[in-house]
Structure 1
């Protein structure tokens, strides 16, 4: 959890160095703030400190139990994020690409639907919009990992 922007290249280099010789693939997902067709000027991300980190650590361990990962890194921002800025970064490393892709997808599906974050829209007209909920498509994507 951090308020400041993350450096994708630096995070990839760090994970690649940590997993050198063991990883044959590093999968990277970066979630960006959209402007929703010019409607938004920012997203405000709130979380409960301690709880959010513990939940992310828990789901990272679940990913490690499901797939043979040699490394995982999840970076999630909080505070005000402008369109074009990174909100979340998920990196997974494994000996083979399939495990790395599946684990990254699993982690993002969890973060999108279940992680203890709340997003509020700041609108171009200067008003503050509502809280953003996960969509039915997000819930359906997360549902494939159950069972």
Structure 2
């Protein structure tokens, strides 16, 4: 069965760029998967030509703060896609909540993230002495044994 994967990376542009190698690793692991990435609105152009991404969903945080209805509509549309796996390489309460609302049976993220009880698989977050690139690769390595 082909996996329908949702990866939520709503950090700023620099962190998004640091995550690009992770997309390749996901596609290596799940060769016939469909990978959709949720990013901050305005950063999606950086990933438009990425050969490992099948779909991009821009998230307008400012708009959602103005309208709770738009936020719930966004969540409902994600849920309708029936993702099987949700990956959260970004340490974020909002991302964890969106991942849970997606309805994916498997939701992987950092164990110390806000509301990590909403995750089905948790990865320890290295906190000291690591650059963000190293943290992302640590996440990738840990994933190899988890999913």
Task: Output the TM-score relative to the length of structure 2.
Answer: 0.36
The higher-RCO structure (CA 8 Å, 6+ apart) is: 1
Task: Output the TM-score relative to the length of structure 1.
Answer: 0.36
Which structure features the higher share of strand residues?
A: 1
Which structure features the higher share of helix residues?
A: 2
